[in-house]
Amino acid sequence: AALDAIDAKEDKVNSFVTVDREGALKRAEEVQKLIDDGKLDGPLAGVPVAIKDNMCTEGLLTTCSSKILGNFVPTFTSEAVLNLEKAGAVILGKTNMDEFAMGSTTETSAYGETKNPWNLEHVPGGSSGGSCAAVAAEECFYALGSDTGGSIRQPSSFCGVTGIKPTYGTVSRYGLIAYGSSLDQIGPVAKDVTDCATILEIIASHDEKDSTSVKRDDLDFTSALVDDVKGMKIGIPKDYLGEGLDSEVKDAILNAAKVLEEKGAIVEEFDLSLVEYAIPAYYVIACAEASSNLARFDGVKYGYRTEEYDGLHNMYKKSRSEGFGAEVKRRIMLGSFVLSSGYYDAYYLKALRTKALIKKAFDEAFAKYDVILGPAAPTTAPKLGESLSDPLKMYLGDIYTISVNLAGLPGITVPCGTDSKGLPIGLQLIGDCFKEKNIIRAAYSFE
Ligand code: GLN
């Protein structure tokens, strides 16, 4: 049924870079046999899933939506995907994304843009736009995305689906092609909170292959699926409701806050300082890490190599010039600049200090509140092409999501209405580190 839905919709939506039709059908038969023999059980057994194309899958093309990895077939599978496979998941294919997860619209993909299933003239958001569009278009039952600065929460908002970015260190990054390693986290995208909690419970694990993986004994996220927010303290940062926020989005967010209040939560506004510094700090740190992480794509070990060249250095230069797209090049240059001697202290070190202050501001907020509530994005999905010409404007759209990554916190987006154009609006709930259960419990109120 999922493959039929893909056949019917993919021409219009373009959620996938690769559909593994034969592999999925073969795997479905194997899983069915295991279920019939009583060897496999559980909520994900036999359920088809789509995987963002920055997670390595053994034997299955993994492009990061870049020309430079256009021929890259990994020899191993990322830990999060392995966890799904152990639970009996059937992988349908790999979803489209902004190239190397850099972007907010899924328009920087080398394989064409993905369109928003709600209105094909609009973007699905990004960078996990393919995963969110695939779930919204019902081409799969759920998907995995990754979130470095909002890439699960923002496209979930634009596509009217639910997505969780877990606490940093909860899901292994082993096999996730790195963008900003200190910020990247894998998480689920699905139709509702119940599905997301169920999937997160399965993909979260301690993994010695990821040195930032955390050992936790509280991964029973589904235990938080209770309809009870009585006495829960919820703070709304005043700065999240100010200038730049679309009035229809603001109304929907405040209505959602009222729903929680009516159910017995204590809701109040507060000042979360430093919000305006999150974007500059994030773009310095993310680009710095990206410039280092992407140094490995040199035309030698794997991926694209230019056809004609004159010596080794010329081969590196031509392979990278031809293989990377404009947004990726912009970030490699910016990252190399902020890390160069003479500028390191002024930019990179200062950004790290800002990151520490942002974490401190959240620590103070979570001393008072269980959950922070706000929008996931300042607007609903823009039209295709609108964001491409002005990268700075696109970066400013990340205002509500990126500080969560800088502080390593968990965040969830749940749908909370539509605007006058009929496009979905997403509510973001942010928790303290390791407190996914608080945001799952609050989000469950909208199920
Ligand atoms: N839009 C942000 C960026 O371009 C976030 C992307 C992400 O979370 N991968 O960096």
ipTM, two decimals:
0.98
Q: Which is the catalytic residue, given 109, 131, 151, 156?
A: 151
Query: Hey, which CATH number is domain 1-447, 1.10.1060.10, 3.30.70.20, 3.40.50.1970, 3.90.1300.10?
Result: 3.90.1300.10
**What's the 227 CA to ligand 1 centre distance in angstroms?**
32
Burial of 356 (0-12, 13-18, 19+ CB in 10 A): exposed
Which residue of 329, 398, 402, 428 sits with most ligand 1 atoms within 8 Å of its CB, as the best mutation to test the pocket? 398
**What's the 150 CA to ligand 1 centre distance in angstroms?**
6
**What's the 65 CA to ligand 1 centre distance in angstroms?**
14
Q: pLDDT 10s per residue in the chain (447 long)?
A: 999 999 999 999 999 999 999 999 999 999 999 999 999 999 999 999 999 999 999 999 999 999 999 999 999 999 999 999 999 999 999 999 999 999 999 999 999 999 999 999 999 999 999 999 999 999 999 999 999 999 999 999 999 999 999 999 999 999 999 999 999 999 999 999 999 999 999 999 999 999 999 999 999 999 999 999 999 999 999 999 998 999 999 999 999 999 999 999 999 999 998 888 999 999 999 999 999 999 999 999 889 999 999 999 999 999 999 999 999 999 999 999 999 999 999 999 999 999 999 999 999 999 999 999 999 999 999 999 998 888 888 888 999 999 999 999 999 999 999 999 999 999 999 999 999 999 999 999 999
Query: Which residues, at least 6 apart from 152, have a Cβ–Cβ distance to it below 8 Å?
Result: 128, 131, 132, 145, 146, 163, 164, 165, 187, 189, 413
User: Which residue is listed with tokens 């109040």?
Assistant: 268
Which residue of 66, 98, 185, 330 sits with most ligand 1 atoms within 8 Å of its CB, as the best mutation to test the pocket? 98
Q: Are 352 and 69 in contact (CB under 8 A)?
A: no
Tell me the CB-side half-sphere exposure of residue 249, using CA atoms within 13 A: 24
Q: Are 398 and 286 in contact (CB under 8 A)?
A: no
State yes or no: is 127 an active-site residue.
Answer: yes
Torsion angle of C-alpha atoms 285, 57, 104, 47, degrees rounded to 10 = -130
Find the farthest-apart pair of alpha carbons in the chain and give their distance in angstroms, rounded: 70
Which residue of 53, 104, 331, 405 sits with most ligand 1 atoms within 8 Å of its CB, as the best mutation to test the pocket? 104
Burial of 12 (0-12, 13-18, 19+ CB in 10 A): exposed
Nearest-CA residue for ligand 1 atom 4 is 103
Rounded CA separation 306/394 (Å): 31
**What's the 194 CA to ligand 1 centre distance in angstroms?**
26
